[in-house]
Structure 1
Amino acid sequence: MKIKLLNKEFLTALNNVGKVITAKTIDPILSNVLIRVDDTDITFIATNLEQGIKNTVKGDIEIEPGELKETVLPFALLREIISKFNNEEQTEILVTSDKGIIKQGTSEYKFNCFNANAFALLPEIEEKIKITIPMKILKKLTENTIFATSKREESRKEFKGILFDSKDNNLRFIATDSTCLAFSNFPIEGIQEELFIIPWKALDVLGKVEVKEEVIDIISDKNQISFNTPNVNIISLLINGSFPPYEAVIPKEDEFYAEVRKDELLPALDRVEVLARSSTKKIVLTFSAGNLNIEAVLPEISEGKESVKFEGTAELSVILHGEKLINGISHINDDIVVFGMNSPLHPIKIKGKSDDSYLYIIMPQKKSTTI
C-alpha cells in the first residue's frame, strides 16, 4: 500500500484523532492510530473505547492486488515526526506486512506496524435521531456548560455529562456537579424533542478538533451519539442515567436582587480569589446600601477586600466558592450581571440583565464548611 497526501492534512488528521488517545490505557494498541484506505479516501481512526474519532482526507492511493488496505502505527512518534515535516509538501506512506515507512524529500522513517484486526472497531450507530445545527451554536452551548460538570472519578455518572434537552423549538444544554448548575439555551425552529446525557469528554473533544464546516449532524440511537461532518466523525457512548430535575433547582422568584456591572465585578472577584484559592476557596459577598463588598481571608497570612457599586434590593451576606462563581459569571454575555437571592443558604440565580439564554445557579457555603 502506498499513500501520498499533503503533510498539512496529514498532521491535522493526526491532531484530530489524537484528542481521544490517552497516556494511560488498559490496551496498548489503543495508543496507536489505525490508517485505512479505499479508492480515494484515507481514514485515520483512534479510540479509547468510550469515545472515538474518524478523520477522512483525500490522497493518492496505490494498492496492489492482495495488499492490506489498513494498518496500525504508533501515534505519538508518528505525529511528532509529521509535525516537523514541511506542511506544504507531500508526505508518502509505504506499508508492507510489518513496516510503515514515512517519507518526505530525503527524510525516511520506519515504524513497526501492528495487526489492524486487534484494533477496536468504532460502533455503528443506528440512526434513530438526527439533528442538524450550526457548529458555532453547538460549541457555544458546550462552552457555557461544560465547566459545571464534575471531573471527579468518584462522582455520580450523571454529573460527568451535559444534558441535551430539545423541546418547544429550543435546544438546552444543562450541566451540574450538585454545587452549581449552568443552563444555556438556543432557539431552533422545528427541533425534535429529545433528552439524553452526553459525556463531557466527548463534547470537550468536539470543541478541540479542527473542522471547516459550519453545520454538524448529531446522530443518536439512545446508547451512542455521533457528531458528523463530511470529514470528521466523533462517536461516544451516552451516559445511561437520570439527570437531576434541574428545573426544580432554579428559583422561581427572588426576594432580593442586585445588578452589578460585569466589567467591574469580574476583575474584583479575580483579585480576591487569589487569596481564596490558597485556603478555603471561599469568597464572602456582602450586599448593603448599594455597595457590594467582596472579601477573602488567608488565615494568619493575609486578607483582601474589594468594593463595587450595585443597584437593587439586596441586603445580605453570602459565602460562595470563588472559582465557581467566576466561572459562571464569565460566561454571561451581558454588561450587567443580575443576582437573584432569597437567603444566605438558598440557591443563588445569576444571569444577564437582558439575556435569558444563559443562567447560572450556585449554592452558598456554610461558614463551617470547607470545599
Structure 2
Amino acid sequence: MQIKIDKNDFYDGIQTVRKAISSKSTLPILSGILIKTQEEELKLVGTDLELGIECKVNANIIKDGSIVLPANYLANIIRELPNKELNLELKEDNKVEISCGSSEFKIHGSPADEYPLLPEVNSDTEYNLSQETFQKMIDRIKFATSDDESRPFLTGGLLSIDNKNLKLVATDSYRLAYTQLELENDLEKQEIIIPSKTLDELSKLLTSEDDIRLLIADNQILFEFSGIVIISRLIEGQFPNYKQVIPNNHETEVKLERKKLLNSAKRAALVARNNSNIIKTKFHDNKLIIESNAPEVGQAYEELSTSQQGDNTEIAFNANYLIDVLKVIDEEEILIELSGELSPGVIKEVDNDNYIHVIMPVRST
C-alpha cells in the first residue's frame, strides 16, 4: 500500500473514527485504526465492538492495500507533522513508513484481516432527517441519560417513531427530557434505545446542513452522513412509560427570562455544591427567589421578576439539573409549571410543546 494524502484531511479522519475506540478494550487490535484503500479514497475504521465509525478521506492511491495502526501513536504523529502532503507506505512485516517534509516515522502495524468487520445493517426501515435538526434533538436529551449500568435501559435515549412523530426521550429517574419532531410522511412505528455514547459522538460529528440517513435493524442502527458511517448496537430492555411521568395539569404557571434564571442558578450553585447541589426556589406574587445554603460556606440569594399565574409555591431542585436544561433551550422566555413542593416541575418553551423537561423535586431542610 502506498498513498499520498493531505496531512489535515488525514488527521481529521483519524480523529473522527478514533471516537469509537475504547481505552478499556482487552483486545489489542481494537486500540488501532483500520486503514484501507477503496477505489480513489482511503477508508478509516475504528470500533470497540459496540460502536463503529467509518469515514472516507480523499487521497492519491498509488498502490492498494490495508493495515491496522495504533490509534494514539498515529494521531499524535500526524498532528505534529507540517501542514503538507504526506506519504504513507506499507513495507515488509507490517511496518508503515510515514514521511512529510523532512520528517520520517516508521510504525509497527497489525494485519488488516485481524480487524473485526463492522456489521452490515440491512433493513427496509429508512429515515432521512436534517443533520442540524437531529443534532439539536440529541443535545436536548442526552444529558438526562443515566450512567447506572444496573439499569441499562436508562443508559441511552429512546427513539420513538409513531405515524408522523419522531421523538427522543431520556431519563435517569430524577429528570426526564422529551423532544419531538413532526415528519412529513407517516412512517412505520418503531421504538429503540440508542446508547448514550453513540448519541454523544453523533452529536459531535453532525455539522453539515445535509441530511442524515438512518437505518434500523433488529439490534443495530446505522447513521450515514457527510462521508461518515456510524453503526451502533441498540440497548435491550423496556424503556419506562415516559408519558406517565409528564404531568397533565399544574397549579402554578410562571413565565420568565431563561438567561436570567440560568445565571442566577449558576451563582446559587456555587454555594449549593457543598449541600448536595440543592437550591430552593420560591414563586411568590410575580417574583422568584432562589436560595442556597451550606453551613460551612454561607448563603446565596437571588431574586427575579416573573409573570405568574396560579398559586404561590416553593420547591427545591438539584441545581445542576436546572442548569442543564436551561443551557439547551434557545428561546428567550420559558414556562415553568408546578403543583407544589412534592410534585415534579416542568420546564417548557413558550407556545411550544415540542420540548418538555421534567425535574423531580428534592427534599430540603
Q: For this structure pair, what is the TM-score category when the shorter chain's length is used for normalisation?
A: over 0.9
Matches within 5 A, 1:33-182: 33-63=33-63, 69-87=65-83, 89-96=84-91, 97-154=93-150, 156-182=151-177
One of 348, 353, 360 as aligned partner of 1:351 = 348
How has the CA–CA distance of structure 1 residues 212 and 300 changed in structure 2, closer, same or farther, with 3 Å as cutoff? closer
Compared with structure 1, are the counterparts of its residues 303 and 121 closer, same or farther at alpha carbon in structure 2 (3 Å cutoff)? same
* Contact 1:19-1:208 at 8 Å conserved across structures: no
| Aligned match of 1:255 | 251
Quick one: which amino acid aligns to residue 89 of structure 2? L
CA distance in 2, matches of 1:348, 1:211: 33
1:319 aligns with 2:323: no
In structure 2, what is the equivalent of residue 187 of structure 1? 182
What is the alpha-carbon distance in structure 1 between the residues aligned to residue 207 and residue 3 of structure 2? 23
Distance 1:213 1:282 in 2: 40
- Contact 2:347-2:358 at 8 Å conserved across structures: yes
Secondary structure at 1:188 match in 2: strand
More strand by share: 2
The letter of the residue matching 2:242 is Y
1:278 aligns to what SS in structure 2? helix
My pick for the range that moved more, 268-277 or 119-128, is 119-128
**2:131–2:206 contact (8 Å) kept in structure 1:** no
Question: Alpha-carbon deviation of 1:72?
Answer: 0.6
Counterpart CA distance in 2 for 1:285 and 1:2 is: 64
> What percent identity do the matched residue pairs reach?
30
The answer for the alignment partner of 2:337 in structure 1 is 340
Query: Gaps spanning 5+ residues in structure 1: where?
Result: none
Distance 1:355 1:148 in 2: 20
3-state secondary structure, aligned to 2:184:
coil
Provide the secondary structure at the position in 1 that maps to 2:237: coil
Aligned partner of 1:25 in structure 2 is 25
Q: How far apart in 1 are the matches of 2:207 and 2:265?
A: 35
Aligned residues of 2:145 and 2:172 also touching (Cα < 8 A): yes
1:184-221 Cα shifts (integer Å, max 9, x gaps): 12222115132111111101111223754611101110
> Aligned-pair distance for 1:23?
2.3
How do 1:289-308 residues align onto structure 2 when only pairs under 5 Å count? 289-308=285-304
The CA RMSD over aligned residues, in Å, is 1.6
Deviations 1:103-149 (A, max 9, x none): 11221100011122222221111123210111001100001000111
Residue of structure 2 in register with 1:281 after alignment: 277
Between the aligned partners of 1:210 and 1:228, the Cα distance in structure 2 is 10
- 2:241 matches 1:245: yes
Q: Secondary structure at the match of 2:275?
A: coil
CA contact (8 A) 2:156 2:235 kept: yes
- Whether the 8 Å contact between 1:293 and 1:306 is mirrored in structure 2 is yes
Q: Which stretch shifts more, 268-277 or 164-173? A: 164-173
Q: Which whole-Å CA distance do the structure 1 matches of 2:6 and 2:296 have between them? A: 60
Offset of residue 337 of structure 1: 1.7
Distance 1:248 1:210 in 2: 32
Shift of 1:163: 0.8
Which structure 1 residue ranges, 4+ long, deviate > 6 Å from structure 2? Answer: none
Instruction: Report deviation, 1:166.
Output: 1.7
Secondary structure in 1 matching 2:185: coil
Amino acid at match of 2:66: E
Please report the TM-score for the alignment, with normalisation by the length of structure 1: 0.93
Asked whether 1:223 is paired with 2:219, we answer: yes
TM-score by length of 2: 0.95
Deviation, structure 1 residue 27:
1.4
Of 294-303 and 22-31, more deviation after overlay is shown by 22-31
User: What SS does the corresponding residue of 1:190 show, helix, strand or coil?
Assistant: strand
Mark the CA change 1:124 to 1:214 in structure 2 (over 3 Å): closer, same or farther. same
Amino acid corresponding to residue 335 of structure 1 in structure 2:
E
